[in-house]
């Protein structure tokens, strides 16, 4: 399963590279929504080997490009002058999320078993697309250009 997830993640990163400059918001909304749907599938039918294999592959593909899409949105929202700080904070938040998810997952696994893990992840995966949808004007502007310094930052009225 780890091999399938890993290979699908690489494919997801490649697919993200094809769309990240043109449709980052749609790509992230699609990936997050797909991950949420797959948690339902895993929660209900993980005992079926074919379903499990397919769901893990799709999950890897959807999940693979998410960091690239989020980082693109973060750089767009922060602007070039603050991009270094913003991406540093992203790494910190990711590591905190991994630690928190590991702790939560361990507690759920010990208390309720593996079957409860998808249901534990699902609430976050339902909220995440709403956050992305709400960030339309800041992190996912309708029009992205190659020269991001020419676009005014939200709330400043000035370039950069």
Residue 18, Cβ density class (10 Å: 0-12 exposed, 13-18 middle, ≥19 buried): exposed
CA neighbours closer than 13 Å in the CB half-sphere of residue 23: 9
Q: What is the pLDDT of residue 69?
A: 93
pLDDT of residue 144: 58
What's residue 59's pLDDT? Answer: 96
**Which stretches in the chain have pLDDT values below 50?**
146-153, 156-160
Predicted TM-score (pTM) of this structure: 0.83
Return the pLDDT at 60.
Answer: 97
């Amino acid at each position: 399963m780890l091999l399938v997830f890993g290979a699908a993640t690489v494919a997801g990163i490649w697919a993200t590279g094809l769309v990240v400059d043109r449709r980052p918001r749609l790509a992230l909304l699609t990936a997050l929504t797909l991950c949420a749907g797959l948690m339902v599938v895993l929660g209900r039918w993980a005992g079926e080997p074919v379903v499990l294999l397919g769901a893990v592959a799709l999950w890897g593909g959807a999940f693979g490009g998410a960091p690239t899409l989020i980082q693109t949105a973060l750089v767009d929202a922060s602007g070039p002058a603050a991009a270094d700080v913003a991406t540093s904070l992203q790494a910190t938040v990711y590591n905190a999320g991994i630690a928190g998810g590991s702790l939560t997952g361990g507690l759920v696994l010990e208390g309720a078993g593996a079957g409860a893990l998808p249901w534990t992840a699902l609430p976050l995966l339902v909220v995440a697309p709403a956050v992305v949808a709400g960030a339309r004007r800041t992190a996912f502007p309708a029009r992205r250009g190659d020269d991001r310094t020419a676009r005014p930052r939200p709330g400043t009225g000035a370039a950069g």
